[in-house]
Structure 1
Amino acid sequence: MAVTLKMLSEQTGFSPATISRVLNNDPSMTVGEDTRRIIFDAAHRLGYSGSSGRRNQRTLTDTLFIGIAEMLSPAEQMTDPYFLYLKNFIEQTCYEHKLQTVPLRLVDGECQMLSASGVDGVIAIGYFTDKQIQSLCSISSNITFLDSSPNELLYDSVVPNFELGMKQALDYLRSLGHTRIGYLGPKRLLDETQRVVLEPRRRYYEHYMREAGLFEPNFVLETPLRDQALVENELSLRLRSLDSGSRPTALVAVNEETAIGTIHALRSLQLKIPEDVSVVSFNNTVMSSVVEPALTSISPHLDYMAATAVQLVRQRAATPTHQPERHFPQKVVIPPSLVVRSSTMPYEKSTD
């Protein structure tokens, strides 16, 4: 027996009209995330498939529907706002271009669309397993990956240039007179194919410093991406083990969470930023400008990354009113920029 809106209403307590508008992502319908989750979960659990579907009823004035798949859960995004900002910029760009976004959810290791409207393309934020990518392909063949590039022969992708970003950070610190430059971040992570690889920013750091004859293993600290407290504890222990004259005079952090943990550790040792130690971070979200001191940061231009992803997915969308502009995939590598703030200063002015 087909599951109806009335049955969903009895299960959730929401009216059939509300449920219909939520499942069809009515842009004029504003509901809380808890309400949306309850309705989506009930629809998935009961196997609701909708009616004949909005896709069959689209008119010549209908807009494009863009699905958004996210690697991180909402709770994980709160500890690492990088991906949250990417999603927000996608939604902002779609709103400006009158495109409708459709949330996709990870259920049992697969990406699923619980809306009856269907989508004209998908933007996948982050890294996804082969199984998850296959499930995305069942939703749409028009997929743009944002911040990863699992298969350049099949999918569009937008990625930051971490190598150039690390070079900018290290070149800048050396221009200030720093040579004892440390790094904080994970040694390994999963790449686009879920293989364990050396984290790119750390890989580029080590290559640069070895080429310059400046690499010092004691200045490299392996820390997780999203644990300020652990960064603070580990860095405090490491710095205590080094003589004041042999400590790094500058540190590069893999992201803002790590940079904030770094600041806490330095302060716990009565070290001043930037007088004693300069700090450079990656990502340059709003967090970089509101911490004290404000962080010198490598900006991957998250807004432009998101806008480019929307542009790519639009170019390959096919609807009754929109023909694809191209049929081959593109990979766009975004060059970052160095944003100088008050967490760095010349080494000559440091109290070493």
Structure 2
Amino acid sequence: MVRIADVAKMANVSTATVSRVITNAGTVKKETAEKVLEAIKKLNYQPNMLARQLRRSETKTILVIIPDITNTFFSNVLRGIESVAIENDYQVLLGDAQNFVERETSYLVTLGQKKADGVILLTARTNQEVLEELSEEYPVVLACEYYEGSTLPTVSIDNISSARKAAEYLISLNHKRIGHISGPMNVVVGRDRLKGFHQAMAQHGLAVDPHLVQEGDFTYESGFNLMMKFLTLDRPPTAVFAANDEMAIGAIKAAKSKGLKVPEDLSVVGFDDIKFSSIFEPALTTIAQPTFEMGEKAMELLLKLINNDELEKNQFILDDQLVVRDSCMEKM
């Protein structure tokens, strides 16, 4: 099947330019439009009429798909999205995928029902090829999660380098036996944070005990249960890096339930800097993501796509920050 990207490649223009020609937006030079029309003719390209109709019929609503509405990390991202949406007279329709790919995909089907002008996904678990094909006819932006090697407009942090930073902080405190409670391996941020952990350990010549790397699911319960598993080992870790704050807090609660003190007996680093991480005792050392700014940028990109404006670039990597609090201590 011929796609809009094929037309753009033959005409040596962007897909946005092809879209403007197809929708007769009137903002394309005559010579460029003729090249595009010639490519359409040669390739016998048939535009998706439903998507074209949807693009012309504004709803002033955008859809945001979130993997798990109970995960407090996403609340500030949503606020960032909504702040830009409201400024531009858009409403936000929220879809909770509940960590099910099928549910995520079902929300995307609603795009063909003229209920939204574009979609921001805070999850990247739908088949990549399906989403990329959809994005050729419809405004799609990814935030927080991403596809490796994709050209979809994306806003995120560098999860590998930020995880490496977290692990290196523990190493700087003279910890050598460090455990990692990872995120799910079917989620790109889970895999990338695990990569960052391994890189930090390798760069400092530290061996990774396979028993000290366990896969969690970003919930408090998995952090608690996997920390309890660590504590059954003959040589438990002296420090733990958890791939999000909820699991880190679960790990600390597990350690306390066994009579250990944090950070005196165990140092713990989390990831995300959710609000509760600074309130919890001890206050959690963590990697802070610029969540509000992520949401703002994602909505700004989506508006450009809706308006058929050219993007200056497709991938935006925002800065993260190591926030040092009270959950870590130097190992003597």
Q: Could you tell me the TM-score, scaled by structure 2's length? A: 0.70
- Residue 197 of structure 2 is aligned to residue 205 of structure 1: yes
* SS at 2:268 equivalent: strand
Distance 2:163 2:96 in 1: 33
1:335 maps to 319
RMSD: 3.3
Question: What is the deviation of 1:292?
Answer: 1.4
Question: What is the deviation of 1:155?
Answer: 2.2
Higher strand share: 1
Q: How many residues align?
A: 274
Task: From the superposition, tell whether residues 152 and 233 of structure 1 become closer, same or farther in structure 2 (CA, over 3 Å).
Answer: closer
Q: Which of 196, 202, 220 in structure 1 is aligned with 2:212?
A: 220
Task: From the superposition, tell whether residues 223 and 152 of structure 1 become closer, same or farther in structure 2 (CA, over 3 Å).
Answer: closer
Q: Which of 92, 95, 120 in structure 2 is aligned with 1:101?
A: 92
2:156 maps to 159
Q: Which of 64, 68, 73 in structure 1 is aligned with 2:63?
A: 68
Question: What is the deviation of 1:338?
Answer: 0.6
Task: From the superposition, tell whether residues 65 and 228 of structure 1 become closer, same or farther in structure 2 (CA, over 3 Å).
Answer: same
8 A Cα contact 2:181 2:226, kept in partner: no
**What are structure 2's unaligned runs of at least 5 residues?**
1-52
8 A Cα contact 2:54 2:112, kept in partner: no
More deviation, 84-93/284-293? 84-93
Distance 1:182 1:162 in 2: 18
2:131 maps to 133
1:240 maps to 232
**What are structure 1's unaligned runs of at least 5 residues?**
1-51, 59-63, 193-197
User: 1:87 is aligned with what amino acid?
Assistant: L
Distance 2:158 2:319 in 1: 5
- Residue 135 of structure 2 is aligned to residue 146 of structure 1: no
2:223 maps to 231
1:344 maps to 328
8 A Cα contact 1:153 1:329, kept in partner: no
Task: From the superposition, tell whether residues 339 and 53 of structure 1 become closer, same or farther in structure 2 (CA, over 3 Å).
Answer: closer
Task: From the superposition, tell whether residues 112 and 84 of structure 1 become closer, same or farther in structure 2 (CA, over 3 Å).
Answer: farther
Higher helix share: 2
Question: What is the deviation of 1:82?
Answer: 2.2
Residue-by-residue CA offset, 1:80-126 (whole Å, 9 max, x unaligned) = 22234322331233234543324467786331438986544321211
User: 2:186 is aligned with what amino acid?
Assistant: L
Distance 1:258 1:149 in 2: 22
More deviation, 260-269/164-173? 164-173
2:277 maps to 288
Identical pairs, percent: 25
Q: Which of 74, 82, 86 in structure 2 is aligned with 1:83?
A: 74
Task: From the superposition, tell whether residues 132 and 231 of structure 1 become closer, same or farther in structure 2 (CA, over 3 Å).
Answer: same
Distance 1:238 1:327 in 2: 47
Question: What is the deviation of 1:293?
Answer: 1.2
